[in-house]
Chain A
Amino acid sequence: MNGWTGRPAPGGPGAGERGTGGPDGLGEDYLDGNALAGPLSEVFLIDMTSARGRCDSCGAVSAIAEARLYVNAPAMVLRCPSCSGVLLRVRRDGGQAVLDLRGFSYLTIDLG
């Protein structure tokens, strides 16, 4: 439905805040994307945190390490540092990893 399903607009709530601790002390409880190195190393043979991805929501390109990772949630959620749109979700379900990459238009991965 128009006006409901869109992601937060650039500059919208939460945009521009970094690290933990928002202006009202409640905190925006996220880490940088480097914290995904461990979980993604279970799936990929190379370090994915240096991979650069294009946000399918706003078009901004950033490294996974530069994005914002929310971990206090039913799955880890990586969000675009420009528009807060969801880039990636990953969770463990027993012996499986469930990886959702639909928030990226594409990923550029340095193969060395």
Chain B
Amino acid sequence: MGIISSGFQGRRNRDDPGLPPGQHRAEDFPVLSAGPTPRIARADWEFRIVTETGTSRHWDWAAFLALPQEDITADIHCVTSWSKLGTHWRGVALDTLFDQIETTARFSLVHSYGGYTTNVPLADLLGGKAWIVHQFNGADLPSEHGGPARLLVPHLYFWKSAKWVRGLELTGEEIPGFWETNGYHAHGDPWREERYG
């Protein structure tokens, strides 16, 4: 056969076709925590995008809720090997936020309240692939799951879906984030098992 392994074709879990390789199905919603949970009041919440030229745009909670809202159903995959299928979220597409942004940057560094960061290429944030979400299963997103709002990038391992998100820093070069500087993969595609760099 060819030199391209089945892993590059979207290899599936033999026992459950909905699961990427090495994953198992979780019925609950595990809480992973690498530090204290920030408690951010919506009145104090702000999301901003800063471009590579230093120009910025920000939204407070009211402005964020005034943007077009989307309902998303997606499977999510944690690098610690659990997957949760068919999760329901509500929020704003990154495409909507980027309507007001001029940039030629290829990468973003996602910043969260509490200091967490993760790097995501813009190609993985745009084109209907990512959202800033504030509801889970029809209820406000609880703080242990990233409320008031978190990034949702369901086609990448869930460490990319930063909890307590507060902004995006757009960059020409890729800047590794919190887990990426600890040996985790820069991209994190679960279907290619991009766990470690």
Contacts and interface: CB of A to CB of B under 8 A. Distances in A.
Q: What does DSSP make chain A's interface, helix, strand, loop or mixed?
A: loop
Contacts of B79: 74
Contact of B31 (A1, A13, A29, A77): A29
Contacts of B30: 72
A73 B182 contact: no
B166 interface: yes
A28 B37 contact: yes
B113 interface: yes
A75 B196 CA distance: 12
Given A13-B37, A98-B182, A74 B32 contact: yes
Contacts of B179: 74-75
The contact size tier of chain B is 20 to 34
A4 B111 contact: yes
B23 interface: no
A72 B166 CA distance: 23
A70 B166 contact: no
Nearest to B145: A26
Contacts, number: 84
B38 A13 contact: yes
A4 B36 contact: no
Contacts of B38: 8, 13-14
Nearest to B79: A74
Interface string A79-106: 1000010100101010000101000000
Interface string A24-41: 101111100000000000
Contacts of B31: 29, 72
Contacts of B166: 4
B117 interface: yes
A77 B169 CA distance: 25
B69 to A, nearest CB: 26
B182 A79 contact: no
Interface string B144-176: 100000000000000100000011010000000
B35 interface: yes
Contacts of B111: 1, 4-5
Interface of B: 30-40, 50, 79-80, 109, 111, 113-115, 117, 142-144, 159, 166-167, 169, 179, 181-184, 196
Given A4-B167, A29-B31, 8 more contacts: A8-B35, A13-B39, A22-B37, A26-B143, A28-B36, A70-B34, A75-B34, A79-B35
Interface of A: 1, 4-8, 13-15, 17, 22, 24, 26-30, 70, 72-75, 77, 79, 84, 86, 89, 91, 93, 98, 100
